[in-house]
Amino acid sequence: MLPVSVVLSFEDALARILALGHPVLAAETTLIDDIDGRILAEDVVASVDLPPFDYSSMDGYAVSTSAFAGTPPVRLPVVGESRTGAVPDAMTPGTTMRIFTGAAVPEGADAVIMQENVTRDGDAAVFTSTPRVGQNVRRRGEDLRAGTTTLTRGTRLRPPHLSLLAALDLSSVSVARRPEVAILATGDELRRPGTDALPGTIPESNTVVLRAMARRAGARARALPFVRDDRAATERAFAAALDEADVLVTIGGVSVGDHDLVRPALEAVGVELDFWRVAMKPGKPLAVGRLARSGRRDAIVIGLPGNPASAMVTFALFGCPLLRAMQGETRPFPTARRARMTRAHAHDPGRLELARATVSSDDAGLTVTTLGNQASGAVTSMAHSDALVLIPADASGIPAGAHVDVLFMADLTA
């Protein structure tokens, strides 16, 4: 545990939070219908060749190229057919066989001529071109050989991976279980959106976005009833949530105001705080810690600031990567891209700034434009940005035309 006065750099905070992802959650065998977005917990080794047999990529005629020794046209009797779902007879030398896309190439044939290039003349087919060996034939194992490792543990499964697993004849695979996330908003001013707008109240707008982001990161996330700025109620709610969830995400009350009860309440229920201040903007007050539980994995707490932009940015940068790390994802933090600033951005040195921005491109590559309102409470600029620009802590402003690192929201909350 660090002295509370320490302000961590963004990189140190991220490294510490990712370390909390270990050990990885247990694996569970899951039907391939239910694994989109989950993290693979085993290497997948192909047990079959892909394709599993030589097949035709065209509707046409299977031939042996040895029948094309002379000058075209070549005329061959059509004997039999090869259709999908059936095993064809071997092809008699000096004949041709009707064949359809996806059907097995018969023994004795080494090429397929597409039907558009063939003239039928009764029981015979007339070919005007000479095929090369393997023409329009997809060879067994040319895509993937049995015994090859094709997906590795720690891969986040996307839709095309599901198709590959199905093609490999797998109906289920081992994936990390989903982290259980409880989200708890604190504050006397909060009410549910769409309810009575009593003076002094505001609609609570963080839970809904954090839950959606947690779900996209593979978690099972639920929102708990809000707690008031009351020490006893806060402790009770924390204790109950920490008994059930893998990760408790609290919102608000994490600063140093008189009504900021989160940090003392976490300590009172036994949470060991790892750090609580990060040199970043937005999001400086951020509490991260863990609660030891006998015979179980430690519960992890992330105490987010209540300002909506701060809550979203800190959860995207720390919360989602933590959830991915807990599931064993190989690269839980997205890769930054380089982009060119279309206009200058003012910055006071001291903290890493995650500036909300829109991305576009021109002939020279990606371009990025930081938005005008970067206030921590500005929900519109969050909703209208598609990326965060990393303005280095020591920079005293970024001029137009400079190249910067950019994190895409689509990658952060993929």
- How many angstroms separate the CA atoms of 154 and 101, rounded? 36
Residue 261 and residue 259: Cα distance in Å, rounded? 6
CB of 253 to Mg ion, least distance (A): 5
Beta-carbon contacts of residue 122 (< 8 Å; ≥ 6 apart): none
Residue 260 CB, nearest distance to Mg ion (Å)? 7
Shortest Å distance, C-beta 321 to ligand AMP: 22
Told to check if 319 binds ligand AMP by CB under 6 A, we report: no
Within positions 160 to 199, which residues make up the interface with ligand AMP, using CB under 6 A?
185, 187, 189-190
Residues 7-26 that bind ligand AMP (CB under 6 A): none
Cβ distance to ligand AMP smaller for residue 226 or 333: 226
Question: 3-class DSSP state for residue 207?
Answer: helix
Using the contact rule CB under 6 A, the part of the chain among 65-73, 95-103, 204-212, 349-357 near ligand AMP is: 204-212
Q: How far apart are CA 162 and CA 331, in angstroms?
A: 20
Contact in structure between 180 and 244 (CB atoms under 8 Å): yes
Provide the phi-psi class of 365: left if phi over 0, else alpha when psi is between -120 and 50, else beta.
left
Is residue 253 near ligand AMP by the rule CB under 6 A?
Answer: yes
Amino acid letter for position 354: L
Considering only residues 65, 92, 205, 367, which one is a binding residue for ligand AMP as defined by CB under 6 A? 205
Torsion of CA 262, 267, 272, 276, to 10 degrees: 30
Where do we find the tokens 């030398």?
93
Which residue, among 212, 376, 387, has the nearest Cα to 304 in the 3D structure?
376
Q: What is the DSSP letter of 319?
A: I
Residue 26 token pair: 């247990």
Contact between 250 and ligand AMP by CB under 6 A: the answer reads no
280 contact, one of Mg ion, ligand AMP, none, CB 5-8 Å limit per kind: none
Cis before 51? omega within 30: yes
Residue 308 near Mg ion by CB under 5 A:
no
Binding mask 347-386 for ligand AMP (x = CB under 6 A): ------------------------------x---------
Say if residue 195 is exposed, middle or buried (CB neighbours under 10 Å; 0-12, 13-18, 19+). exposed
Q: Tell me which stretch binds Mg ion (CB under 5 A): 24-32, 157-165, 274-282, 305-313.
A: 305-313
Query: Minimum Å distance from CB 285 to Mg ion?
Result: 11
Residue placing its CB nearer to ligand AMP in the complex, 21 or 252 = 252
Amino acid making up residue 77: P
Rule CB under 6 A: is residue 306 a binding residue for ligand AMP? Answer: yes
- Judged by CB under 5 A, the chain residues 226 through 265 that form the site for Mg ion are 252-253
For residue 246, give both structure tokens: 């893998």
Is 305 near Mg ion (CB under 5 A)? no
Of 261 and 326, which has the nearer Cβ to ligand AMP?
Answer: 261
Q: Which residues bind Mg ion (CB under 5 A)?
A: 187, 252-253, 306
Q: Which residues bind ligand AMP (CB under 6 A)?
A: 185, 187, 189-190, 202, 204-206, 251-255, 257, 305-308, 377
